[in-house]
Amino acid sequence: MTVRRSKVHIRPIPLALLAAALLTTGCQRSEALGPEAQAPAPARIDALAAPTPAFPHEPVVVTLAPPVPSAALVLDAAIDRLGHRFPGDVGIAVRDVQTGWTSHHRGLDYFPQQSVSKLWVSLTALDQVDSGRLDLSRALTVTARDLTLFHQPIRTLALRPGGFHTTGDDLMVRALTQSDNSANDRLLHQVGGPDAVRATLRGKAIAGIRFGPGEPRLQATIAGLDWQPDWAGGTGFYTARDALPAETRRAAFDEYLANPVDGATPIAMVDTLARLRRGDLLSPASTAKMTAIMEETRTGALRLKAGLQPGWRLAHKTGTGQVYQGEQAGYNDVGILTSPEGRSYAVAVMIGRTNRPLAERMKLMRSVVAATIAYDAALAAQRAAAPPVKTDASGPGAAPEMLR
């Protein structure tokens, strides 16, 4: 017998209803689940978890070496302290030629340069030599008409019959090492006068350094006079100055100090000296020549130079202004310190108005040198305390990594 089966029709469940059912099931609270679902995880699963570390009851004490003080910040503090403690108008700056770090006290104020400005006459002369515009070996003559005033050792030679036959090279040495005013003024005439020096400063982007009208006119103005050519080689300047009323001299003296026509900032000074040391201002031959001459400077033996330690060298230039009623208008020494290992530092100590004894001024300058030398030693210690590094050899330009 044949059994006939009827077809079963399954009506599809709407998707919306199915989704609602699934959501309802997934949101059931755990209490509604059976006891098996609420049972703790099997012990074998707990065994896979990392054990909780057991901390000791006593704290672990780790002793760290004290950090090495920053050499640069120590130098900052030393220079600031020296500047504030000196009872006078002073600006100080020290520039690390290698790193560019500069510590200063009133580094952006203008102070009289006086004979420090002889540097810029020699710089101009050597720049003209480098460009082929000047021959310092050419013979020239210095006569009584070329004499100026104050310190001029060349005077006795110029007053001889026929004058003194020399060269620009000789004048430069006398101007820098002896601070000879007449030698410098004759060299200034040879390079083209004050305007030529100012053009050189502008051309080399040397800011913060002014160049005055030349030694005779500058010193006459400070005294309250106008320079007269017939005073050259004689005593006319001193006679005219002594005849001036005290109020005239005081007004001229104060006006110069308030806004020195030959002024410079200590920061500009060390920046320029650092550029000279790096060879950024002159050719290698002219750079070596100028710094070698500056190392033979005879003036200011008890200023910066007296603070040197064995093996250290100083290429420098001094500047000393007029004294009126116990006050001096400018007492300076600037230069390049070089360590026995060859590291260099540009230093400038510029005292504007002061009536302090010379011994105090010189002590300040020696103290600045001592602080700079101490900075050099501290910097070496700081480098020695730093972790060693090695260069990653994986490719050019790869960053160094710490040695472990």
Residue 126, token pair as written in the block: 């050597």
Q: What is the pLDDT of residue 66?
A: 54
Q: Please report the pLDDT score of residue 385 as a whole number.
A: 81
- The token duo for 16 is 């919306």
pLDDT at 31: 44
User: At 227, phi and psi to the nearest 5?
Assistant: -65, 135
d(CA 197, CA 210): 10
> Measured in Å, how far apart are the chain's first and last C-alpha atoms?
94
What gap in Å lies between CA 156 and CA 164, rounded to an integer?
Answer: 9
Structure tokens at 153: 């050792």
Q: Over its length of 404 residues, how does the chain's per-residue pLDDT go in tens digits?
A: 444 444 444 444 444 444 444 444 444 444 444 444 444 544 444 544 555 555 556 666 665 555 556 899 999 999 999 999 999 899 999 999 999 999 999 999 999 999 999 999 999 999 999 999 999 999 999 999 999 999 999 999 999 999 999 999 999 999 999 999 999 999 999 999 999 999 999 999 999 999 999 999 999 999 999 999 999 988 999 999 999 999 999 999 999 999 999 999 999 999 999 999 999 999 999 999 999 999 999 999 999 999 999 999 999 999 999 999 999 999 999 999 999 999 999 999 999 999 999 999 999 999 999 999 999 999 998 888 877 766 555 554 444 433 33
Q: What amino acid occupies position 195? A: D
The H-or-E segment that residue 327 falls in is: strand 327-338
SS3 call for 234: coil
Distances (CA, A) of 218 to 131, 149, 203, 231: 29, 11, 24, 14
How many helices, marked H, and strands, marked E, lie in the chain? 15, 12
User: Is-contact 294 146, C-beta < 8 A?
Assistant: no
d(CA 374, CA 350): 21
Cβ pair 210, 264 in contact under 8 A? yes
Exposure of 362 in the CB half-sphere (CA atoms within 13 A): 12
How far is the C-alpha of 113 from the C-alpha of 213, rounded, in Å?
13
For residue 44, give both structure tokens. Answer: 């074998």
Nearest to residue 88, comparing CAs of 331, 317, 346, 265?
331
CB 103 within 8 A of CB 94: yes
HEC secondary structure over 150-186: CCCCCHHHHCCCCCEEEEHHHHHHHHHHCCCHHHHHH
**Among candidates 289, 295, 271, 275, which has minimal Cα distance to 126?**
289
